[in-house]
Amino acid sequence: MDKKIIIYSTPTCPYCKKAKAYLQERGIEYTDVDVSQNETAQNEMIEKSGTMSVPVIDIGGVIITGFDKDKIDEALSKGEV
């Protein structure tokens, strides 16, 4: 995998669950970072996205806020994943 994928999420976020399920269905590996109990991860997510909303998905440096299949697919299509 050329692109590193990180999902900043919380355990209770329904859109976080949908985003993770979407990537799993496609067989795409990602790192799940729970920001609900990790202040360092929260700050990293806010720095990348400018928001406290989850999920924040980082696909090789492309930042997507929320669960947006079109944006995820577009970011994934730019190179090997």
Return averaged pLDDT per consecutive 10 residues of the chain, 81 residues in all: 86 97 96 96 96 96 96 84 47
Burial class for 17, CB neighbours closer than 10 Å (0-12, 13-18, 19+): middle
Which structural domain range is residue 42 located in? 5-71
Please report the pLDDT score of residue 9 as a whole number: 98
Inside any domain, residue 80: no
Count the domains in the chain: 1
The CATH code of the domain that includes 49 is 3.40.30.10
Nearest to 63 by CA among 23, 1, 4, 2: 4
pLDDT of residue 3: 75
> Token pair of 27, please?
């067989």
Helix (H/G/I), strand (E/B), else coil: 44: helix
Structure tokens at 4: 């590193």
Q: What is the spatial distance between Cα 25 and Cα 52, in angstroms, rounded to a whole number?
A: 26
Residue 24 located in a structural domain: yes
Q: Kindly report the pTM of this predicted structure.
A: 0.91
> Is residue 13 assigned to a domain?
yes
Q: Which pLDDT belongs to residue 1? A: 46
Would you state the pLDDT for residue 78? 81
* Predicted pLDDT of residue 81: 47
20 belongs to a structural domain = yes
